[in-house]
Structure 1
Amino acid sequence: MTLNWLLIIRLGLVQMALGAVVVLTTSTLNRLMVVELALPAVLPGALVALHYGIQITRPNWGFLSDAGGHRTRWIIGGMAALAFGAYGAAQGVVLFETSYAVGLTLSLLAYALIGVGVGASGTSLLALLATATAPHRRPAAATITWLMMIAGIAVTAGSVGAFLDPYTPQLLLKIVGIVCTGAVALTTLAVWGIERGVKAPARHSDTPRLIDGLREVWAEPEARFFTIFVFLSMTAYFMQELILEPYAGLVFGFTPGQSTSLSGAQNGGVFLGMLTVGIAATGLRIGSLRHWVVAGCLGSAVSLTVITGLGQVGFAKALIGAVVTLGFFNGMFAVAAIGSMMALAGKGRGAREGTRMGLWGAAQAIAAGFGGLVGAAAVDVMRVASGQDAAAFGAVFLAEAALFVLAALMAMRVIEHRQGRNAIIVLGE
């Protein structure tokens, strides 16, 4: 049998758990290091870049789960590794207060373990979805699980922000421990027994080496140019990830709980943006994927410009609305880009769909780490150079806005209008 809608939603709960744990490391812990501990923003930027960098091994995790035929073990084991890594990262933040060297050592090990856990669990989960979902349900399954991940991020960030005030190290460890334990338990219950009940496709013994498959795909112009687009747009997408909460704390005086809730509001906007494109594009047949990608990129650029302006005038009340708007356009761009990937994955040499998705996934992971690190490092440099927090953060936000405009221009050339329309028809089946 193949996955029915209930089983797809169960697997979506794993994605939700992944997002819930990861958002603690990219938002809450990041803000605590920069604001409460007064550490340079490049430090959490480098740590997050480390966990993203390790995720370029995703094709290897997929190969291991393919060869062994035990994806459930990798999903649960990867989630356990992620949970241990996240709790270790929280311990590292606490230890920074007493010993920088010990805190840094533990943080490096913890974020490396986070990268391993996300790669092993997330890749094996997507492989199970791809092989056990009927072809006509795959686009919808991808959309459902992605939205559930965003929902997990938004709900966790918002609820953790509410419970974290007033901040104490003991309260931080307690909250992170609860979230991590719950994520492992939810994953185990959600995925248990599914793999045994589905029919896996026959494996072929003539599968080429991974490096040979990547070379063949890179030789295809469409795949190569789309890889560059993914890297450019995702660099812009992730540049603000590590600096938005410190910006709220340093420039607007937000507390740790308030800035974490701000991150939750942003991800809520991402969810709404994705849902809007899903309803408008697949249900109402409005616009092509290229139109939605371009609109999302340009809207994100405008939102970042507004956020920069608010910092110059100190208008804190409007910040939440501007951040939600940024999230909305980010979500619009992201889900349209995913649809474009689906449309392009089957073009070119046959039996390379997974390799193309793996290549684009690696580009996204590298861009996420690179963008977050560059954004954090640039803020540190600008704060020293200008001596003004608002100006330093604003300069980086404007640079990010310029990248979004460049990505929109590239999308108009890379993503064909006809391909986008066809992809919408497929998604609407």
Structure 2
Amino acid sequence: MPVQPLSWLSIFRLGLVQLCLGAIVVLMTSTLNRLMVVELMLPAVLPGALVALHYGIQITRPNWGYRSDTCGNRTRWVIVGMGMLAAGALLAAFAIPVMEATFWLGLCVSILAYALIGMGVGASGTSLLALMATATAEHRRPAAASITWLMMIFGIAVTAITVGQVLDPYSHDRMLAIVAVVTGGAFVVTCLAIWGIERRAGVQAAPLAEPMTFRAGLREIWAERAARNFTFFVFLSMTAYFMQELIMEPFAGLVFDMTPGQTTSMSGAQNGGVFVGMVLVGVCATGLRFGALRSWVVAGCLGSAATLAAITLIASAGLKPLLVPSVITLGFFNGMFAVAAIGAMMQLAGQGRERREGTRMGLWGAAQAIAAGFGGLVGAGLADAMRTTLGNDASAFGAVFSIEAGLFLLSALVALRVMGGRGQTARMGLVAGE
């Protein structure tokens, strides 16, 4: 059966799957994280380690990609993965009251939950992008990737803001009910959105080729100097990008006495800023042909560093009214940097001796996940260490934000060297990915 390229409607439907994925994951990285640190008064490194576990599990992404390449049914892995993700998120929420009553039992439940979340994200996200890469017309692939990324950010922002509005007054029962509605709704929407798309497109699995293990694929990429240098940039910049992910809400709660609902809404507003930053880069770089890819990356890194410095000053001065606008600005520059950096990563992922969409998507997704987990864990660990050493929450979090700002400055310098001239990173064709 000949391949029928995806229509824009089908691409939008696949974007709904990414939206659902983001809607579930934000509960784990923002709401549940804050509840452990503030309400349960646990060290920030604990949720940091759990989130790092979920990222570490995603080193299996290449295997999920290879399975989706050869099994002949990517839809199945998308649905199975979303089911694992939804079940893991619900289990993670259930672990909060259990942890409050019996810490070690709750911790064991949390470890199982976050491992399940990591497997679900890897299976669903990798298989979805592989389906898009094989069933989307070549001239539509960059725009299709951007649509799905932006929809994921939109799902994160809307979910965080909405949950923040209905979470107060907080109770464990209310939190569990909200998480159940979000996860159940996300699974149903995923099934409805993806059903029949692969069959109508007539996409067949690639013939069984020589197996590519994670190590073999990594060696192949590492042998290329440009890819090797770019890998360092991705790891460094994504570490900076994710350092504040797990500590921003606890920071707002501890330093400015914001409620769980207020900090969750702030997180949603920050992701709204990310969305706007991504849209700006897409419109300017694609529609207006303004700005090279490297320029957007550097501008986003520098803007992120400057905003983190401003948040540090706001914390030390106790200027609460300026916090949310500053966090939104940070999201804006983060989004500007991320869509350009991930666009460059997607361009590089398409180069190589073999084009195995699922496997190569998985390899790069694993590399990004490792950096994300490492950055979140380091940020949380530093926050705990600084709070113990300095004895002042504002100064402690400010020190971590200052280190993160320094990493963004270093990332900008590395980007100027690694992302070379116009021949390598000329104009951006509006590309993005998860």
Give the TM-score normalised by structure 1.
0.97
How many equivalent pairs are there? Answer: 428
Instruction: Decide whether aligned partners of structure 1 residues 419 and 58 sit closer, same or farther in structure 2, where only a CA change above 3 A counts.
Output: farther
Aligned to 2:157: 154
Maintained 8 Å contact 2:63/2:362:
no
Instruction: Decide whether aligned partners of structure 1 residues 416 and 230 sit closer, same or farther in structure 2, where only a CA change above 3 A counts.
Output: same
Maintained 8 Å contact 1:290/1:420:
no
Instruction: Decide whether aligned partners of structure 1 residues 236 and 150 sit closer, same or farther in structure 2, where only a CA change above 3 A counts.
Output: same
Alignment of 1:323 with 2:327, yes or no, is yes
Maintained 8 Å contact 2:130/2:357:
no
Q: Provide the rounded CA distance (Å) in 2 between the counterparts of 1:59 and 1:353.
A: 10
Maintained 8 Å contact 1:52/1:368:
yes
Could you give the per-residue CA deviations for residues 383-403 of structure 1, whole angstroms, max 9, x where no partner exists?
A: 111110001101000000000
2:76 corresponds to which of 64, 73, 78? 73
SS of match in other structure, 2:42: coil
Aligned to 1:265: 269
Instruction: Decide whether aligned partners of structure 1 residues 265 and 216 sit closer, same or farther in structure 2, where only a CA change above 3 A counts.
Output: same
Q: Provide the rounded CA distance (Å) in 1 between the counterparts of 2:161 and 2:398.
A: 25
Structure 2 unaligned residues grouped into runs of 5+? none
Maintained 8 Å contact 1:87/1:180:
yes
Q: Provide the rounded CA distance (Å) in 2 between the counterparts of 1:269 and 1:78.
A: 28
Could you give the per-residue CA deviations for residues 25-82 of structure 1, whole angstroms, max 9, x where no partner exists?
A: 0000000110111000000000000000000110100111112111111111111111
Maintained 8 Å contact 2:22/2:156:
yes
Maintained 8 Å contact 2:130/2:358:
no
Q: Provide the rounded CA distance (Å) in 2 between the counterparts of 1:165 and 1:278.
A: 36
After TM superposition, the structure 1 = structure 2 runs for residues 3-22 of structure 1, keeping only pairs within 5 Å, are 3-22=6-25
Q: How far apart are 1:410 and its partner, in Å? A: 0.5
Could you give the per-residue CA deviations for residues 295-332 of structure 1, whole angstroms, max 9, x where no partner exists?
A: 00000000110111110011110000000000000000
Could you give the per-residue CA deviations for residues 108-153 of structure 1, whole angstroms, max 9, x where no partner exists?
A: 1000100011111111111111110111100000000000000000
Maintained 8 Å contact 1:289/1:420:
no
Alignment of 1:336 with 2:340, yes or no, is yes
Maintained 8 Å contact 1:165/1:257:
yes
Structure 1 runs (4+) deviating above 4 angstroms are 352-357, 425-428
Q: How far apart are 1:338 and its partner, in Å? A: 1.9
After TM superposition, the structure 1 = structure 2 runs for residues 79-90 of structure 1, keeping only pairs within 5 Å, are 79-90=82-93
AA aligned opposite 1:95: V
SS of match in other structure, 1:424: coil
Could you give the per-residue CA deviations for residues 267-314 of structure 1, whole angstroms, max 9, x where no partner exists?
A: 000000000000010000111000000000000000110111110011
Q: Provide the rounded CA distance (Å) in 2 between the counterparts of 1:112 and 1:309.
A: 37
Which of the pair has the greater relative contact order for Cα pairs under 8 Å at 6+ separation? 2
Aligned to 2:54: 51
Aligned to 1:203: 206
Alignment of 1:144 with 2:169, yes or no, is no
Q: Provide the rounded CA distance (Å) in 2 between the counterparts of 1:186 and 1:227.
A: 35
Maintained 8 Å contact 2:78/2:124:
yes
Q: Provide the rounded CA distance (Å) in 1 between the counterparts of 2:359 and 2:73.
A: 20
After TM superposition, the structure 1 = structure 2 runs for residues 240-319 of structure 1, keeping only pairs within 5 Å, are 240-319=244-323
Q: How far apart are 1:427 and its partner, in Å? A: 5.8
Instruction: Decide whether aligned partners of structure 1 residues 323 and 420 sit closer, same or farther in structure 2, where only a CA change above 3 A counts.
Output: farther
Instruction: Decide whether aligned partners of structure 1 residues 174 and 364 sit closer, same or farther in structure 2, where only a CA change above 3 A counts.
Output: same
Q: How far apart are 1:350 and its partner, in Å? A: 4.7
Q: Provide the rounded CA distance (Å) in 2 between the counterparts of 1:262 and 1:421.
A: 34
Q: Provide the rounded CA distance (Å) in 2 between the counterparts of 1:384 and 1:258.
A: 26
Could you give the per-residue CA deviations for residues 80-113 of structure 1, whole angstroms, max 9, x where no partner exists?
A: 1111100110111111211101110110100010
Q: Provide the rounded CA distance (Å) in 2 between the counterparts of 1:275 and 1:357.
A: 23
Aligned to 2:398: 394
Aligned to 2:355: 351
AA aligned opposite 1:103: G
Could you give the per-residue CA deviations for residues 195-231 of structure 1, whole angstroms, max 9, x where no partner exists?
A: 1111325623443423333322210001111111111
Q: Provide the rounded CA distance (Å) in 2 between the counterparts of 1:107 and 1:91.
A: 9
Q: Note the aligned Cα RMSD (angstroms).
A: 1.6
SS of match in other structure, 1:351: coil
AA aligned opposite 1:40: P
Maintained 8 Å contact 2:292/2:428:
yes
Maintained 8 Å contact 1:235/1:371:
yes
Instruction: Decide whether aligned partners of structure 1 residues 420 and 28 sit closer, same or farther in structure 2, where only a CA change above 3 A counts.
Output: farther
Of 155-164 and 64-73, more deviation after overlay is shown by 64-73
Maintained 8 Å contact 1:342/1:423:
no
SS of match in other structure, 1:286: coil
Maintained 8 Å contact 1:282/1:427:
no
Aligned to 2:31: 28
AA aligned opposite 1:403: L
1:94 corresponds to which of 97, 102, 105? 97
Q: Provide the rounded CA distance (Å) in 1 between the counterparts of 2:238 and 2:188.
A: 31
Maintained 8 Å contact 1:17/1:186:
yes
Identity of aligned residues (%): 66
Q: Provide the rounded CA distance (Å) in 2 between the counterparts of 1:355 and 1:98.
A: 43
Structure 1 unaligned residues grouped into runs of 5+? none
Aligned to 1:360: 364
Q: Provide the rounded CA distance (Å) in 1 between the counterparts of 2:286 and 2:251.
A: 37
Q: Provide the rounded CA distance (Å) in 2 between the counterparts of 1:356 and 1:14.
A: 20
